[in-house]
Amino acid sequence: MKLPINSIKSYFAAVGLFAHVAIVFLGYSVFSQISDRSEPLPDTLQRIGHTIKHDYPSVAVAGDTLLNAGETLDSKSYFWREFDSKNWPTVGPNFAMAYADLPNVSRSIMVDNEQDIIRAINTAEPGTEIIIKNGDYYLEQKRINSSLSYPTSKSPVIVRAETAGKVNLELTTLEGFFVNRPNWIITGLRFIGNCQPHCEHAMHIVGHADNLQVTHNEFVDFNAAIKVNGVNRNYPDFGKVSHNYFYFTEPSESSSSVTPINLDSGNSWVLSNNIIRDFIKLGGNRVSYGAFIKGGANNGAIENNLIVCNSTSNDYGGYQVGVSLGGGGMKRATRRDKSNFETNLSVVRNNIMMHCNDVGVYINQGKDTIVNNNILYNTSGIDIRFRQSTALVTNNILSGAIRERDKGVAEKMNNTVLSKNFWRGGEQLDGWFKAPSVGNFTPSKTLSKSESAYPFMTASESTGKKPLYDFCGNPILGKDSFVGAFKNAINCFEQ
């Protein structure tokens, strides 16, 4: 049977029309991604390819084509050797010095089995130190509640290992320590999640748990190792999460939030000197964060942390964000005091963030924010988003761009912003530091310290009530000159 010649012409005309529409749509998508994100072409092709494969499986072949094209062009940096936390002596746990500044207590209890650990935490009185004998412990209880007593700053409750770093607490349920009382100190422990797909929390900090200190610990394979939120309009304030090491041994398949430090609604929290890495989420919306503060929180600080979104050479897709004020956001009715902002008077400073396939810093409805003296390597930059967001963005060194989105406002001063190579995705920052792709940010001879200054302190900080230090542990004075996150890199990068 022969088809009429007019039918054949109509067929090919229609095919041609659809092909051109597809090409125009693809071109528009690529151009929009490049314009919005200031990202190189290989990244754009791979990002769209992953989206097509995930959201439109019926045309997955088109996604594969874009992925292959992106991979062929791509020469972007990745973390090309095994991660070793010892290469950054100023961040992460310092087990040798973990107990140097612990307050004195009136009573010490040594525990050496799971039942006694749980009982001691359930019944601890103010001024008690719970010492867990070195060894491995398996805690299968759904939740380990703190006692109902009210410790004070002079009589806290301390939970620690006999020797810092020598106690492994393996959790097999979704939730670990549940703290609802003030002035607890948890230090020197290794928390290991053994759940499928992953445990949710190693610690859940709620309600009355003011002045909590979580220092010099390791957290392995928890979606939100530290979770903070209010209960019955009571909110834990003035917490400190410092010198800890958070990491995943494999990507999380969970659909729940993947954010190792997940802080909702608490005021005046400081997240400092932590190492956070490989928080990759493959389930749900595939969006993950190293740490965030949100939910109507005031006066938070994310400072002096090393954030490595992906320390492998694998491209997992999804969206890994370094740190955020605002995170994915909360409904106004659920925020503290039903505030119209996610954070207020908060700061992101002196951090190093690496190998994030999305932005290094994301400000989402962050009012009166300061983002200063950070180094962002192999990220797409900094986003200031939504009309509630007002930010001073100053003295940062970054690849990518600083973007004001959806009416967000950023005052930009003294930033060094280097776009990636458009065609190949290479990092222009590579010549500025010794080996930035693996985290050695010792400045090269071509990089001058005059790039950045550090004039921005709060009143309490400038009067000496709260001493400030840079990423490398140097004390900060008001007129110091900086290279991104530090003023001096001596003894900072041991590689």
pLDDT digits over 91-133, tens only? 999 999 999 999 999 999 999 999 999 999 999 999 999 999 9
Please compute the mean of the pLDDT values over residues 275-301 and round it to a whole number: 97
How far apart CA 203 and CA 214 sit, in angstroms, is 10
Q: Which of 87-96, 155-164, 388-397, 424-433 has the lowest mean pLDDT?
A: 424-433
Encode 362-409 in three state secondary structure: EEECEECEEEECCEEECCCEEEEECCCCEEEEECCEEECEEEEECCCE
**459 has a pLDDT exceeding 60:** no
The confidence band for 72, taking pLDDT boundaries of 50, 70 and 90, is: confident
**269 has a pLDDT exceeding 50:** yes
Q: Could you read off the pLDDT of 296-344 as tens digits, one per residue? A: 999 999 999 999 999 999 999 999 999 999 999 999 999 999 999 999 9
**33 has a pLDDT exceeding 80:** no
Backbone dihedral angles phi then psi of residue 143, each to the nearest 5 degrees:
-150, 135
Q: Could you read off the pLDDT of 195-251 as tens digits, one per residue? A: 987 899 999 999 999 999 999 999 999 999 999 999 999 999 999 999 999 999 999
pTM for the structure as a whole:
0.87
Residues 6+ positions from 428 with CB-CB distance below 8 Å? 399, 418, 419, 420, 421
Q: How many CA atoms lie within 13 A of 143 on its CB side?
A: 8
Q: Which two tokens stand for residue 351?
A: 């951090």
Q: Could you read off the pLDDT of 165-183 as tens digits, one per residue? A: 999 999 998 899 999 999 9
Looking at residue 437, the DSSP 8-state letter turns out to be G
Q: How many CA atoms lie within 13 A of 459 on its CB side?
A: 1
Q: What one-letter code names the amino acid at 202?
A: A
Cα dihedral 336/285/242/454 (nearest 10): -80
Give how far Cα 238 sits from Cα of 153, 184, 268, 270, 305, Å. Answer: 12, 12, 5, 8, 18
* pLDDT computed for residue 428 by the predictor: 85
The confidence band for 465, taking pLDDT boundaries of 50, 70 and 90, is: low
Q: Which two tokens stand for residue 278?
A: 């490989």
* pLDDT computed for residue 462 by the predictor: 42
Nearest residue to 218 (alpha-carbon basis) of 277, 133, 172: 277
Please compute the mean of the pLDDT values over residues 386-394 and round it to a whole number: 97
Please compute the mean of the pLDDT values over residues 476-490 and round it to a whole number: 87
- What does the mean pLDDT of the chain come to? 88
Q: What one-letter code names the amino acid at 285?
A: N
Assess contact for 52 and 59: CB atoms under 8 A. yes
Assess contact for 218 and 169: CB atoms under 8 A. no
For 120-158, give one letter per residue: b (16+ CB within 10 A) or e: bbeebebbbbbbbbeeebebebeebebbeeebeeebbbb
Cis peptide before 251 (omega within 30 of 0): no
Cα dihedral 397/418/448/355 (nearest 10): 50
* pLDDT computed for residue 66 by the predictor: 81
Q: Tell me the residue length of the chain.
A: 495
Q: Where are the domains of the chain?
A: 5-73
* pLDDT computed for residue 456 by the predictor: 55
Question: Regarding beta strands 440-443 and 433-435, do their DSSP bridges make them parallel or antiparallel, or are they unpaired?
Answer: antiparallel
Q: Could you read off the pLDDT of 399-437 as tens digits, one per residue? A: 899 999 999 999 999 999 987 767 666 788 888 899 999
Assess contact for 403 and 383: CB atoms under 8 A. yes
Nearest residue to 218 (alpha-carbon basis) of 200, 243, 239: 243
